[in-house]
């Protein structure tokens, strides 16, 4: 066991003995580069990160806590504690790193967690559900083990790439960027790491996302889009003479760019199509639950998560990034034509909350004049207070809510009239 770990254990025991503590607890401190220890606090419970300790010690800390609470003695002595290997924990959060880590409540469209010998996921769900604004935005704890730090890091990168979340903003790509950074690889990090490197990490995320060719998302969407229309009987008449004896010419949109395509051939595991003056051949396998696809494109193997939230729209996760592909040749559901704008309009007259939450403060009254940037109200969501600011120099014309009201993003909180 490394000497500094032994020091941790010795200090923990000394503190527990000094206060005559006889239950499970977590002692937190900071350690500087000279291995000087600075006490922070003690929590009279196990900590959120207890899976890391369990991975490297092989001890079920929750079981031990229950035994102590039942009046039983621990089955091991301090000298029996052995730390072997390395473990890393990533907190999977419903938040938007590009928007100052603002919590992102909403409904999951897809939830698929990674599995493996050196992977542990602590969560509270087995299927997609709704993340509300009433609780902490943590979705799960993803913990990976390795014989050393580098193996734990690479195992974590692979696990993050195999975590499928659709429907809400999340921090998976940001976590991947952290573990891929030079500073993390060389262990040149501190508690200020994210604040110091946020811009470069976000730029790294965007660069990695842009490196994934649109042709890949296009191929996946076409494979899924036509899979339900291809007869599973290889001897069927329609497969022999073609799909309804007409040439399919779907038009797909990715990142505001249109891709006219011509389907040449497709069966249950092969797709051939033309787009942008090139012929593309794809071999693929779609999972039984239709949430995952394995494919070969231009000699390269890929794996992706796919969800189909509505007619002609596909969300595709590749290497922690999510792409939206829309078939423009298919009519969307009628509700898309009936949705009225609910967020602040271009003139900034109708003010709404950036997320569902509870109104805890209102700082203005009807008739007040406000300048751009003035604080109008505070909405609490997911343990965070969100300041709602005036976008323009205006007059408060109408206040539609009261302190204590629960609001969502479709609620007009305040109506402003522009000052001339």
Catalytic residue numbers read 41
Between vectors from CA 344 to CA 337 and to CA 396, what angle results, nearest 5°? 135
Tell me the residue ranges of DSSP E strands in 115-250: 119-122, 130-131, 138-146, 164-166
**How does 104-113 read in b/e, with b if 16+ C-beta sit within 10 Å?**
bbbebbbbbb
Could you give the 3-state DSSP secondary structure of residue 101? coil
Q: Distance between CA atoms of 100 and 290, rounded to whole angstroms?
A: 34
Q: Distance between CA atoms of 289 and 307, rounded to whole angstroms?
A: 10
Torsion of CA 396, 402, 405, 408, to 10 degrees: -10
Q: Distance between CA atoms of 359 and 378, rounded to whole angstroms?
A: 6
Between vectors from CA 318 to CA 315 and to CA 321, what angle results, nearest 5°? 75
**CA distances in angstroms from 191 to 6, 61, 92, 94, 184, listed in the order given:** 22, 26, 18, 21, 12
Q: Quick check: 138 and 116 in contact, CB under 8 A?
A: no
Say which DSSP state 248 is in.
B
CA 40 to the chain's CA centroid: 30
Q: Distance between CA atoms of 274 and 330, rounded to whole angstroms?
A: 19
**How does 373-406 read in b/e, with b if 16+ C-beta sit within 10 Å?**
ebebbbbebbebebebebbbebebeebebeeeee
Between vectors from CA 12 to CA 9 and to CA 13, what angle results, nearest 5°? 85
């Amino acid at each position: 066991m490394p000497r500094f770990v032994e020091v941790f254990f010795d200090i923990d025991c000394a503190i527990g003995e000094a206060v005559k503590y006889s239950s499970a607890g977590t002692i937190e401190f900071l350690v500087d580069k000279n291995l000087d220890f600075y006490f922070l606090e003690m929590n009279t419970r196990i900590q959120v990160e207890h899976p890391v300790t369990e991975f490297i010690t092989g001890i079920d800390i929750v079981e031990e806590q229950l035994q102590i609470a039942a009046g039983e003695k621990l089955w091991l002595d301090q000298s029996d504690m052995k730390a072997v290997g390395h473990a890393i924990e990533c907190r999977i959060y419903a938040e938007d790193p590009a928007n100052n880590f603002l919590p992102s409540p909403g409904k999951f469209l897809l939830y698929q967690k990674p599995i493996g010998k050196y992977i542990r996921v602590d969560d509270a769900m087995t299927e997609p559900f709704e993340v509300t604004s009433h609780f902490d935005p943590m979705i799960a704890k993803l913990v990976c083990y390795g014989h050393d730090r580098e193996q734990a890091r690479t195992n974590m990168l692979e696990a993050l790439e195999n975590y499928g979340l659709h429907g809400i903003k999340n921090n998976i790509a940001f976590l991947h960027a952290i573990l891929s950074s030079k500073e993390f690889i060389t262990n040149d990090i501190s508690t200020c790491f994210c604040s110091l490197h946020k811009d470069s990490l976000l730029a790294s995320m965007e660069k990695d996302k842009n490196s994934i060719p649109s042709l890949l998302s296009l191929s996946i969407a076409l494979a899924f889009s036509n899979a339900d229309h291809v007869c599973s009987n290889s001897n069927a008449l329609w497969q022999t003479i073609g799909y309804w004896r007409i040439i399919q010419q779907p038009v797909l949109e990715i990142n505001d760019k249109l891709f006219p395509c011509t389907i040449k051939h497709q069966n249950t595991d092969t797709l051939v199509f033309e787009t942008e003056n090139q012929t593309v051949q794809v071999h693929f396998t779609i999972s039984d639950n239709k949430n995952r696809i394995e494919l070969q494109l231009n000699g390269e193997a890929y794996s992706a998560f796919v969800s189909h939230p509505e007619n002609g729209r596909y969300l595709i996760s590749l290497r922690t990034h999510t792409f939206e592909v829309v078939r423009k040749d298919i009519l969307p559901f009628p509700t898309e034509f009936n949705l009225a704008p609910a967020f602040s309009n271009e003139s900034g007259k109708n003010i709404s909350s950036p997320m569902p939450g509870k109104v805890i403060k209102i700082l203005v009254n009807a008739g007040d004049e406000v300048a751009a940037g003035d604080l109008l109200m505070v909405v609490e969501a997911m343990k965070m207070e969100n300041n709602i600011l005036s976008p323009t120099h205006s007059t408060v014309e109408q206040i539609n809510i009261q302190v204590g009201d629960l609001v969502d993003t479709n609620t007009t909180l305040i109506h402003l009239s522009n000052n001339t």
